[in-house]
Homo-oligomer: A and B are copies of this chain.
C-alpha cells in the first residue's frame, strides 16, 4: 500500500510544511486572498492553489468569492482532533506538574469551566 492521501485526514494535511505555513498565515482569523498568500510564502501561484485545495477538502479552510479573487479563511476547529490526540500524551513532557498536581489542575480547570461536559478522563 502506498502512503495515504494527503486529503484523507487532517493529520496528513498538516504533514506538509508549506500547508502549515499557509495555516499560520491565516491564523489571524481574517480572510486572505490567494495572491497575498503567494507573496508571503514565496511559492508559485499554482502550488499555493493546490495546497489550498487540499486544506479545503479536509475542511481546514473555506473560500469566499470577493470580486475576482478568492479569499480563504481558516477553520481552525478542524485541527481539534490533532490537538486532542496529542494532548493525551502531554503529561509526559510537563514535568513541573506531577500526577497528583496535574489532576488537581484539571479539577480546577473543570470547576471554572462548569459549563463544559466532557466525560471525565480516567487515570490510574
Measured CB to CB, the residues of A under 8 A from B are 3-4, 6, 9, 11-12, 14-17, 20, 23-24, 27, 29, 74, 76-77, 79-80, 82-83, 85-90, 92-93, 96-98, 101, 104-105, 108-109, 112-113, 115-117
* CA distance in complex: A3, B15 (Å): 9
17 contacts between A and B (CB under 8 A): A3-B3, A3-B16, A4-B16, A11-B15, A14-B15, A74-B89, A76-B93, A82-B82, A82-B86, A83-B86, A97-B116, A101-B116, A104-B112, A105-B108, A105-B112, A105-B113, A109-B109
Q: Could you say which of A17, A20, A85, A86 has the most chain B C-beta atoms within 10 Å of its C-beta?
A: A86
